[in-house]
Structures are given as C-alpha cells and as structure tokens.
Structure 1
Amino acid sequence: MIQNPGGFWRRLLGLLLDAIVVGVPLAFLSYILTGDTEGNFFTSLISFLYYLILPTVWMGYTVGKRIVGVRIVKVDGGKVGIGTMLLRTFVASIVYMVTLGIALIVSAFMVGLRDDKRGIHDLIANTYVTTDKPQ
C-alpha cells in the first residue's frame, strides 16, 4: 500500500544532490585514474553500481535521497533488493533509451501528476518513493 509518496521536486533535488555529492568526486577520481575528461566505462560502472547497490543495503536511500528525506520501497512497503533495483535502473534505462528519452519525459510527468507519484521505472520495478522512515 502506497503511503506518503515523495513528489517530483523532492525527488529531483535528491537526484541533483547525488550528482553533486557522488558524481563530481567520481568524475574527478576518474580523471585522475584514466586522464579522460569525458564519460568512460569506469565512471559509468561505478555510477550504475551506486544506484544499484546502495539502496539495497541502506534501506532504499542514496546519499541525495537521504538528504532530502525520501527512499525507495516496494509497493508492499518492503525493502528493495538487487533484483528490484536491476529492474528499476537497468531495465528502465533500456526503455528510456529505446524510446529516445520520450519515456523519460513521460515518466517525469507521471511523477509530477499521478497521486501515487510513480514513474515508469517505479511501475516496472513495483516500487515507489516515500517520505516514510524505515521501521
């Protein structure tokens, strides 16, 4: 049962904070290790693992989500696992790429306009983002 869904602006701010808190240091580290100023496999892999693993071990939080007070949970309120996060990140990314980003725009509108605040990636993985703290 969906309770206290996290809205569009809070989720967007969490994503931006993740980009600043994790993305910028990761890009700097990647530059030091590889000398590459553009995106590379190292950066992409670490970023993917961050969004895949951290929510499974930290009760649905990423650093940015924790700062803004939202977390990812299953629709039944349960903890997300690796399989759930694979669906939410990897499969949803494929959908967004295949549709040339159109599904991503639709998903943003869904988060902003739906009562349950679920985007396409949430529907695929049977998750939602909530302001409820873990029990």
Structure 2
Amino acid sequence: MCQIFTSADPGLYASRARSIRLRGVATSLRLENVYWQALEEIGRRDGLSVPQLVSRLHDELDEAGALGDGANFTSFLRVTCTRYLQLQLAGLIPREAGAPIRALDARAVLAGERDWRAAARATQG
C-alpha cells in the first residue's frame, strides 16, 4: 500500500515559496508543489492567475471573518486544494477543466458535500 504513496515524484512534495500581494502587502507563501499545481488548475478554470486566485480567496475569507487570530492561511490553501479534489471525486465539481468554478451553484455543491460526507460516515460505521 505505502509504495503507492512513497513512489511519488519527490518534486510533488518539495515546497517552494512564492511572493504574492495580499491587500497591497507583499507576502511570501510556502506550499508544496502539488498544492501550487492544484491552485493553478483552480485559477485557470476561472481565468485567474495563482496570485489573483490566492488574493481573491484571502479577501473572501477575510470578509467572512475567518482570518482572525490564529488563522493559518497556508493551511487554508492546502485544505482548499484537498476539498477541490474531493469535490471532483464526489462529482460535485465537474472534472472538465473548462467548467468555471464561478458558474457552479455554491449552495448545491455544499449541500451535496454534506450529503456525501454523511453517506461516507454512515458506511464507516
């Protein structure tokens, strides 16, 4: 089992920092390459560069009041990438890279996610 994971290209889990402006302030974000790749894919779906996507996510998270004390924005980005892939696997986000995220009905996706997670919990026991 572990060979499936341990034989991954080391470049995927190598991390790199990128300088990005958030609300006009230059900051450095360090993520593993696999997360940068996922952010590129997410942004590309809506015609956004990674800095534009990250800035938009930051602003929306801040507007929602979720960037309070102790918030870890890089952890949020990792979770965003993971949820993106999970939602694709669940069929709640189309796998076709040409389908924009902004065109999706967020309420329907979130309701579908709740149902999907509840069904997964029920099968686990």
Return the TM-score normalized by structure 2: 0.32
* Larger Rg, first or second structure (1 or 2): 2
Structure with the bigger percentage of strand: 2
Q: Which has the higher contact order (CA 8 A, sep 6+)?
A: 1
- The normalised TM-score by structure 1 is 0.30
